[in-house]
């Protein structure tokens, strides 16, 4: 296709987004990856990069037109609902095809003690009934939902929480870390802090799945927050098929 290929916009921030960008760059397809800018030192993809919001669906639609974008891939985190909604509206207005690239969610095994919650608020209400020392791996921006709990909580985050994230639980400890994680390390973390319940989002993927295996071995319950609903658009569960979709939609 060469350098005349039209530009592709990847709404990124995930490992799948980075892998897709690398595949497209290798095929000489011009690609821009857009990052939300919520992580201080994000892992950067290949190709062009922009950081920050677009100013809502209207701003995104204008950006697509101004940059001659011919295809959009929404490869944001499974819980980044707002940008997906904006992408659906903006691409429809701009007449640009859009694909949702999303890894499959996790599945409980026979030995797992999982408890599903629709929201973080639901998870916070359920938590005191399942344990007294919890590991939260739901991100710093959701910690305010647990602020009313008088129990010991360990939150693992990429960046430290700040005032903009809202009130914090009174008995909270924070550790800063970024995956991928291994089973041995996750098991040691649970033992060292005497964790008796784990709270996580259904993010899916292999990078952070080791905590679920560690919880299974330790026989501790896990609260899993369901993914929010997404706009209706074509979907792909893997990078390979997303590459094929992009190539098909950027042919002249």
In angstroms, the Cα distances linking 81 to 192, 227, 242 are 35, 9, 20
Domains 2-103+229-249 and 114-225 share a fold: yes
Mean pLDDT of 217-246: 95
For position 165, what pLDDT does the model report? 86
Contact 4, 252 (CB under 8 A): yes
Sheet arrangement for strand 197-201:
114-117, 222-225, 197-201, 133-137, 152-157, 172-176
Mean pLDDT of 101-107: 95
For position 62, what pLDDT does the model report? 95
More confident residue, 163 or 217: 217
For the beta carbon of residue 51, count every other beta carbon within 10 angstroms.
Answer: 12
Omega cis (within 30) before 2:
no
For position 80, what pLDDT does the model report? 87
For position 39, what pLDDT does the model report? 66
For position 4, what pLDDT does the model report? 47
CATH 3.40.50.720 fits 114-225, yes or no: yes
Alpha-carbon distance 233 to 82, whole Å? 15
Residues 6+ positions from 196 with CB-CB distance below 8 Å: 131, 132, 133, 134, 220
For position 252, what pLDDT does the model report? 58
For position 40, what pLDDT does the model report? 62
Q: What are the pLDDT digits (tens) for 106-118?
A: 999 999 999 999 9
Task: Say yes or no to pLDDT of 3 above 50.
Answer: no
Q: Which residue has tokens 């993914």?
A: 227
- DSSP per residue over 28-46, as a string? T--EEEEE---SSSPPPPS
CATH 3.30.2320.50 fits 2-103+229-249, yes or no: no
pLDDT band with cut points at 50, 70 and 90 for residue 5: low
Query: In the chain, where are the structural domains located?
Result: 2-103+229-249, 114-225
Kindly state the tokens that stand for 183: 């089973």
pLDDT band with cut points at 50, 70 and 90 for residue 6: low
Q: What are the pLDDT digits (tens) for 33-64?
A: 999 866 667 788 999 999 988 999 999 999 99
Alpha-carbon distance 38 to 124, whole Å? 23
Task: Say yes or no to pLDDT of 180 above 70.
Answer: yes
Helix or strand holding residue 121 (H, E): helix 120-126
- pTM value? 0.86
Contact 6, 31 (CB under 8 A): no
- DSSP per residue over 81-95, as a string? HHHHHHHHHHHHHHT
Q: What are the pLDDT digits (tens) for 126-175?
A: 999 999 999 999 999 899 999 999 999 999 999 999 888 899 999 999 99
Q: Which residue has tokens 């020392």?
A: 133
Contact 233, 74 (CB under 8 A): yes
Beta-bridge partners for 73: 10, 99
Q: What are phi and psi of 98, to 5 degrees?
A: -135, 145
* Residues 240, 206, 226: CA angle, nearest 5 degrees: 95
């Amino acid at each position: 296709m060469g350098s005349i290929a039209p530009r592709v916009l990847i709404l990124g921030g995930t490992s799948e987004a980075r892998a897709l960008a690398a595949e497209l760059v290798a095929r000489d397809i011009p690609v821009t990856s857009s990052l939300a800018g919520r992580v201080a030192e994000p892992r950067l993809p290949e190709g062009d990069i922009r950081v920050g919001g677009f100013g809502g669906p209207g701003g995104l639609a204008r950006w697509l037109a101004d940059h001659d974008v011919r295809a959009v891939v929404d490869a944001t985190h499974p819980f980044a609902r707002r940008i997906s909604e904006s992408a659906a509206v903006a691409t429809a207005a701009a007449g640009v095809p859009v694909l949702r690239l999303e890894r499959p969610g996790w599945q409980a095994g026979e030995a797992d003690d999982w408890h599903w919650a629709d929201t973080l608020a639901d998870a916070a209400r359920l938590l005191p009934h399942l344990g007294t020392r919890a590991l939260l791996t739901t991100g710093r921006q959701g910690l305010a939902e647990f602020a009313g709990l008088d129990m010991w909580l360990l939150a693992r985050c990429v960046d430290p929480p700040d005032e903009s994230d809202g009130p914090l639980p009174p008995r909270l400890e924070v550790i800063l870390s970024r995956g991928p994680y291994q089973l041995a390390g996750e098991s040691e973390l649970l033992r060292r802090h005497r964790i008796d319940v784990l709270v996580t989002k259904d993010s899916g993927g292999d990078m952070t799945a080791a905590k679920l295996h560690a919880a299974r071995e330790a026989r501790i319950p896990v609260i899993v927050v369901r993914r929010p609903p997404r706009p209706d658009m074509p979907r792909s569960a893997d990078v390979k098929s997303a590459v094929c979709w992009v190539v098909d939609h950027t042919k002249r």
